[in-house]
Amino acid sequence: MSLELKTQLEAALSPRTRAIAVVHYGGIGCNMDAICGFARKHGLRVIEDAAHAMGASYRGRRIGAQGDLVAFSFHPNKNLTTIEGGALSFADPGEVERAERLRFHGIRKLPGGEMDVLEPASKSNMPDVSASIGLAQLKKLEQFNAKRAALARRYFSKLDGLKHLRLPAPDRPGHAWHLFAPLIDFDAIGTTRREFIEAMQARGIGVGVHYLALHLFHAYRRLGYREGDFPNAETVGARTLTLPLFTRMTEADVDRVCAALRALILN
Ligand SMILES: *Cc1c(COP(=O)(O)O)cnc(C)c1O
């Protein structure tokens, strides 16, 4: 495992640590070999936020094939959608059974059509209509992700070398390309992200921010987190800008986005 990752994991470990939660940000698989190995060694669970990683893999293994609990999202802006909903994948069959119970009133079905209720639970089952949309989408997933990867490669070729802009980690096999989010040094350009976003909007181009540094939200400040606690998250949070990337997009659309970026950055 990379020394840096190992050092970071060790620094975050305390006697109260129970699990490692990872996010496969933008669709790029985290280093699961290293993370799962570290977790096993320290008796921790691995929980994966795979909302960006439907169809992604890491070193030839699908995201979802390892890890104790993996959560996918099928929200409309994700690589595959069921309008709303998602999927969970588990290592332990007993946890599958419990999750199935928790998603539907805590019910256990008994032979002969009878039932028992084992614990309080919610109603979070996926409606059949959503499931059938998902099955139709699933057939096209590889095609969707291939299109996203082609658009990402076009962004790389058009934005290579543009100053004040740092490209995302490059394409690699298994990247689901949910997001294409370079970092832009707005201070160096003499602007703010808000003005930059408005200028892109004025050119008919919608861009987003994924994500601000979470520990600076009120809900986390209330727990005692402050500026300076996570300097990398703060730098990324201040500079990140998500460019358009969707399956209906054309290479000409990418070129138009890149021309607008170039004009605004080099003003
Ligand atoms: C969308 C998203 C979620 C939440 O997914 P829901 O289906 O809305 O619950 C969680 N994590 C990340 C990183 C996401 O992008």
pLDDT above 70 (res 243): yes
Rounded CA-CA distance 240/180 in Å is: 10
Radius of gyration from C-alpha coordinates of the chain = 21
Burial of residue 111 (CB within 10 Å: 0-12, 13-18, 19+) is exposed
Which residues of 136-235 form beta strands (DSSP E)?
A: 165-166, 183-184
CA of 202 to the centre of ligand 1 (A): 29
Give nearest CA residue, ligand 1 atom 12. Answer: 51
pLDDT above 80 (res 3): no
CATH 3.90.1150.10 residue spans of the chain: 141-266
pLDDT given at position 6: 86
266 in contact with ligand 1, CB cutoff 6 A: no
Q: Does domain 3-138 have CATH number 1.10.3720.10?
A: no
Name the residues annotated as catalytic. Answer: 78
Average pLDDT, the chain: 96
pLDDT digits (tens, 9 = 90+) for 204-221: 999 999 999 999 999 999
Rounded CA-CA distance 206/192 in Å is: 16
pLDDT above 80 (res 2): no
pLDDT digits (tens, 9 = 90+) for 41-79: 999 999 999 999 999 999 999 999 888 999 999 999 999
For the domain made up of 141-266, give the CATH fold.
Answer: Aspartate Aminotransferase, domain 1 (3.90.1150)
Predicted confidence band of residue 87 (pLDDT cuts 50, 70, 90): very high
CATH 3.40.640.10 residue spans of the chain: 3-138
pLDDT given at position 1: 58
- Helix 3-12 and helix 32-42, axial crossing angle in degrees, nearest 10: 40
Rounded CA-CA distance 165/179 in Å is: 16
Pocket of ligand 1, candidates 24, 25, 75: which has the most ligand atoms within 8 Å of its Cβ, to mutate?
A: 75
Rounded CA-CA distance 10/205 in Å is: 42
Does residue 257 contact residue 205 with C-beta atoms inside 8 Å? Answer: yes
73 in contact with ligand 1, CB cutoff 6 A: yes
* Average pLDDT for 251-263: 98
Burial of residue 179 (CB within 10 Å: 0-12, 13-18, 19+) is buried
Rounded CA-CA distance 81/64 in Å is: 17
pLDDT digits (tens, 9 = 90+) for 90-144: 999 999 999 999 999 999 999 999 999 999 999 999 999 999 999 999 999 999 9
89 in contact with ligand 1, CB cutoff 6 A: no
